[in-house]
Chains A and B, each alone.
Chain A
Amino acid sequence: MKKDFEIIDHTADVGIIAYGADISQAFANAARALFSLITELDNVAEALHRDIELTASDQESLLVEWLNELIYLFDTEHILFKRFDITKLNHTQLKARNYGEKVDRSKHKLKIGVKATTYHMLKVDKSDGCQIQVLFDI
């Protein structure tokens, strides 16, 4: 079985490749990859959820905007997300319910901070299953 995602090397920052049978699954795995950089996802419970609804001019922008929104929620509300239920996703619109819990220092070890999602090396490839490549500024 293919992995959900993998981390790729970059000199200054960190990239990920996320896989999925369809685009929604690949988006969800990209978000899981993002939070796996920040903490160990096994220690995160699904104690709360936040809904995100976005529009963007194309699917690449939609991905960047969505991941940035999750970074924003981590930065302002200190929420670690682990499961992403994407209920709508086309070229310009995304609707997702995102599950996770607030940071608890006694149980969550924080690894690295992610500043933002970049467009550099960004790829959304739907030719053989779905594959997404994203680089984060950390």
Chain B
Amino acid sequence: MSAPWQEILKKIDDYRWEIPRSYKAGMSVPGLIYASEAMLNHIWEEQVFQQVANVAFLPGIIDHSLAMPDIHWGYGFPIGGVAATRVKDGVVSPGGVGFDINCGVRLLRTNLTKQEVKPKIEQLITELFVNIPSGLGSTGKLRVSEKELDQVLIKGSRWAAEKGYGEAEDIVATEESGCMKRANPDKVSSKAKKRGIPQLGTLGSGNHFLEVEVVDEIYDPEVAKVMGIEDLGQILILIHTGSRGFGHEVCSDYIRVLGEAVRKYGIALPDRQLACAPVESPEGQDYLQAMACAANYAWTNRQCITHWVRQSFIKVFGKSRKELGMEQIYDVTHNIAKIEEYPIDGKKQTLCVHRKGATRAFPAGSPDIPDIYKSIGQPVLIPGDMGRCSYILVGTETAMKESFGSTCHGAGRIQSRTAAKRSLRGADVAKALAARGIIVKAGSMGSLAEEASEAYKDVTEVVDVTHKAGISHKVARARPLGVIKG
């Protein structure tokens, strides 16, 4: 018997599958899913295909409604979705960014080896857990006034560096240099600011985490070397968090505003969560300016956490930051809308690229990546689940040509949180990880069960598809030694 997806998808090659426009009346472009045949049997949920198709309704969408191999059923947009709309006559949709605006990943390197860290891992994870506020309802150590928060929203990472929470080199090694232009705090509600103030400098809960990991495979030594990844056994640190309640409120506020705009501009949508407005309309512009504020908040958040990570390592290992070699490799956002230019039919077009659970993957030579990475392409950071591994890749020309410079963002869930909790207990998850040499500290044991490996696709399969399809190139792999969960 053939799988149900076989009747819907048209195979383009081993890693590309099209959802034809005939799948759902109203699609203005086809859908394109990056996946292997084996994965499609796992991905298969009717709702995911429906969501890819629904995104293809957005006015001004061009080429394809794209789905990365980590795709899963979200709200409105699928998670792992990419959609590019024309700025001149297309729309921007807050649902195409998500509630956690600029949720993203930051990777730090060290000169430490597994041999040096392993004996101290418990002490290190405890120190990190104490220094970095995490978990539901946690508040940060930073106390900013509303006026000061506006500076955070305008300056992003630069605010943190000015306050002593980072270095100029960190800013260079951050997507957008940690600051989206056109951020306008006047477009942000006072409610969003009230939610944001106490949560600045917190990891949060859910799938957010901080991981101490060890390099266990290097696929492209030359490229890895440029990033300062030199040897197997080298210790890295991965930080995964976003814009906290601030971003959630900005998104909620603008789904309301753009819900009205849908009526005003007479846009027909199959799902209210796709609320949108023309990019160049006042509503669309207001959203982009508020979204930029949330993006800058998230970069500040990751920058402050970076500082406390460094302090924790300095304390535990009794060495200076320089001796420890704690440089930032890169910081990527995977929930964002960006105005970017692409050649379409031989003509340069300005597009609004929505990445909802997708990572930018610009190639070598791109003017938008730091000089240090001009020769290798932009680092792409892909976290896995806490029991498996994470990957470091670089962007490619293929991504630029066919996926609007985008690739996957993580493993992608296959099991609901409630199902994970039904079948697993947090304490057992922690025990199983400890047996494999992974120390975990979590704010709540429930959240630990929800985030267990079993709830996720194997990130290796996801990354392999993007590598083989050519939309990103594998550089190195790391596996966790210690994890902090919210």
Q: Residues on A close to B: CB < 8 A?
A: 7, 9-14, 38, 57, 60-61, 65, 68, 71-72, 75-76, 78, 103, 109-113, 115-122, 135, 137-138
Contact A14–B418 (Cβ < 8 Å):
yes
Interface residue ranges of B179-206 to A (CB < 8 Å): 191, 194-195, 198-199, 204-206
Residue B416 at the chain A interface, CB threshold 8 Å: yes
State A69–B419 Cα separation when bound (angstroms). 28
- Stretch touching chain A among B69-77, B160-168, B364-372: B69-77
Task: Pull 6 A–B residue pairs with CB atoms less than 8 Å apart, ordered by A.
Answer: A12-B79, A14-B416, A57-B259, A57-B260, A110-B444, A137-B248
Which residues of the other chain, B, contact A135 by a CB distance below 8 angstroms?
75
Q: Would you give the shortest CB distance from B97 to chain A, in whole angstroms?
A: 12
For B272, give its contact among A60, A78, A115, A137 (CB under 8 Å): A60
Q: Which residue of B lies closest to A7 (CB)?
A: B418
Contact B73–A137 (Cβ < 8 Å):
no
For A61, give its contact among B259, B444, B486 (CB under 8 Å): B259
Contact B99–A113 (Cβ < 8 Å):
no
Which residues of the other chain, B, contact A120 by a CB distance below 8 angstroms?
74-76, 271-273
Q: Which residue of B lies closest to A58 (CB)?
A: B259
State A111–B75 Cα separation when bound (angstroms). 21
Q: Residues on B close to A: CB < 8 A?
A: 45, 72-76, 79, 98-100, 135-137, 191, 194-195, 198-199, 204-206, 245, 248-249, 251-252, 255-256, 259-260, 271-273, 275, 413-419, 444, 446-447, 450, 486
State A111–B446 Cα separation when bound (angstroms). 6
Contact A137–B75 (Cβ < 8 Å):
yes
For A11, give its contact among B191, B251, B414 (CB under 8 Å): B414
State A118–B136 Cα separation when bound (angstroms). 20
Which residues of the other chain, A, contact B99 by a CB distance below 8 angstroms?
115-116, 137
Contact A9–B194 (Cβ < 8 Å):
no
For B447, give its contact among A61, A112, A121 (CB under 8 Å): A112
**Number of A-B residue pairs at CB separation under 8 A:** 104
Contact B206–A112 (Cβ < 8 Å):
yes
Specify which of B195, B199, B272, B419 lies most central, judged by the most chain A CB atoms within 10 Å of its CB.
B272
State whether A119 and B249 are in contact (beta carbons under 8 Å apart), knowing that A12-B413, A112-B450, A113-B205 are contacts in the complex: no
Q: Would you give the shortest CB distance from B410 to chain A, in whole angstroms?
A: 11
Which residues of the other chain, A, contact B450 by a CB distance below 8 angstroms?
112
State whether A72 and B195 are in contact (beta carbons under 8 Å apart), knowing that A12-B413, A119-B76 are contacts in the complex: yes
Q: Which residue of A lies closest to B48 (CB)?
A: A11
Which residues of the other chain, A, contact B135 by a CB distance below 8 angstroms?
110
Please provide the 7 A-B residue pairs with the shortest distance between their CB atoms, ordered closest to farther.
A120-B75, A119-B272, A118-B75, A120-B273, A113-B205, A119-B273, A9-B416
For B73, give its contact among A12, A68, A72 (CB under 8 Å): A12
Contact A11–B259 (Cβ < 8 Å):
no
Which residues of the other chain, A, contact B260 by a CB distance below 8 angstroms?
57
Contact B446–A112 (Cβ < 8 Å):
yes
Which residues of the other chain, B, contact A14 by a CB distance below 8 angstroms?
416-418
Which residues of the other chain, A, contact B415 by a CB distance below 8 angstroms?
11
Contact A116–B413 (Cβ < 8 Å):
no
Which residues of the other chain, A, contact B199 by a CB distance below 8 angstroms?
75
Q: Which residue of B lies closest to A74 (CB)?
A: B137
State whether A112 and B417 are in contact (beta carbons under 8 Å apart), knowing that A11-B73, A103-B137 are contacts in the complex: yes
Contact A112–B205 (Cβ < 8 Å):
yes
For A112, give its contact among B74, B79, B136, B414 (CB under 8 Å): B136
Q: Would you give the shortest CB distance from B328 to chain A, in whole angstroms?
A: 27
Q: Would you give the shortest CB distance from A78 to chain B, in whole angstroms?
A: 6
Which residues of the other chain, B, contact A65 by a CB distance below 8 angstroms?
256
State A99–B191 Cα separation when bound (angstroms). 21
State A135–B271 Cα separation when bound (angstroms). 13
State A109–B256 Cα separation when bound (angstroms). 32
State A68–B75 Cα separation when bound (angstroms). 16
State whether A138 and B206 are in contact (beta carbons under 8 Å apart), knowing that A12-B72, A14-B418 are contacts in the complex: yes
Contact A116–B251 (Cβ < 8 Å):
yes
Which residues of the other chain, A, contact B255 by a CB distance below 8 angstroms?
119
State whether A116 and B195 are in contact (beta carbons under 8 Å apart), knowing that A9-B419, A10-B416, A78-B137 are contacts in the complex: no
State A124–B74 Cα separation when bound (angstroms). 20
